[in-house]
Amino acid sequence: MSTEYTNKLHAGSAFPDISAKLLNGDTKKLATPENGLDWKMIVVYRGQHCPLCTRYLNQLESVRDYLAETGVDLIAVSGDSKAQLESHLPRLDINFPIAYGLTVEQMEELGVYISDPRSPQETDHPFSEPALFVVNNEGNVHVADISNNPFVRPEIETLVSGLGWIRNPDNNYPIRGTHK
């Protein structure tokens, strides 16, 4: 077992130029906001084998409109294959883009924790543990949450209300965690 530390993305640093594929064949840059919005939330999830990820993605759908009202676009991504994502879709009730095929090298670039499957029944490839990044209009990491297991994730209502507060220009809220 390796105890080497991962290379975490630092608050305020540029989000890496990472792309992943959608089921329709399009390739999306993870940090590029769309739909007239100027910030991007990237949710990195473990994969179709994780029921907690399925629940979290479905919960995110319930706040998608509020995120858009605050200028935050949303995408989810995992290291699953196209076939694994297709088998996951019946359990998902979402209308935001979901990408697949995140490589181990891309996971390392994001600084996420990477796990090996416990058995072939779980999955057939190394996978990312949950992570969530919010990238601001300058392409920098404004919010980062990186977990090493499926049980620790940002509480969605607190997250979206906090993003609304951060995005309010009256609050002049800086990127936190940048002390050197």
The strand ranges marked E within the chain are 19-22, 27-29, 39-44, 72-77, 98-100, 114-115, 127-128, 131-135, 141-146
Predicted confidence (pLDDT) per residue in 119-176, tens digit:
777 777 888 899 999 999 999 999 999 988 889 899 999 999 999 999 999 998 889 8
pLDDT of 6 strictly over 70: no
pLDDT for res 127: 86
DSSP 8-state code for residue 169 = G
Is residue 113 within 8 A of residue 23, CB to CB? The reply is: no
Predicted confidence (pLDDT) per residue in 80-124, tens digit:
999 999 999 999 999 999 999 999 999 999 999 888 778 777 777
Predicted confidence (pLDDT) per residue in 31-55, tens digit:
999 999 999 999 999 999 899 999 9
